[in-house]
Amino acid sequence: MKRTTVDLWVGLFVVGGLVALLVLALKVGNASTVTAGQGYKLTAEFNNIGGLKPRAPVKSAGVVVGRVESIRFDNKKFLAQVTLLIDKTYEFPKDSNASILTSGLLGEQYIGLDGGGDDAVLKDGDRITLTQSALVLEQMIGRFLTGKAAEGPTAEKDQ
């Protein structure tokens, strides 16, 4: 009788641990998000999206207001077209600005929305026209090194 009671408690402990791991995995994976029935879609075009991925957060003033629904390449304009799903409780002016930002130095990328001053608000299917692409660290380093190489040895002689 004692052995079955211990086995029962061990079994319950293992099941509880598995449930806790499942909940943790769903939280880390951002499983709780806006669904199409609870939000509206916006599109934005960027020259470079860096490491932005679908389901990345869309934030305004540090608050998650939506998610990146999809990313596709426009063959005619040679731009990345990003579809955003914004929670219906948040409204943004038509002249809002979308930027691709990074959390911390090497963190995940997300889209930051900055509201404008227009009285008209964005609606389902609208396009955000004011966008700022991602800053790619490799490109910035390359530009810096190219600038230093262009200065050459003459810059040292002038000093």
Q: Where are the domains of the chain?
A: 36-136
Instruction: Taking residues 28-32, report their average pLDDT.
Output: 58
| pLDDT at residue number 23 | 84
How far, CA to CA in Å, does 16 sit from each of 4, 7, 22, 58, 105?
18, 14, 10, 33, 36
| pLDDT at residue number 50 | 85
Instruction: Taking residues 152-159, report their average pLDDT.
Output: 56
| pLDDT at residue number 36 | 56
pLDDT in tens, 98-139: 999 988 777 788 999 998 888 899 999 999 999 988 877 777
| pLDDT at residue number 147 | 78
Q: Which of 96, 98, 94 is nearest to 83 (CA)?
A: 98
Return the number of other C-beta atoms located less than 10 Å from residue 2's C-beta.
Answer: 6
Tell me the CA end-to-end span of the chain in Å, nearest whole number: 90
| pLDDT at residue number 159 | 53
Q: How far is CA 153 from the centre of its chain?
A: 43
| pLDDT at residue number 126 | 93
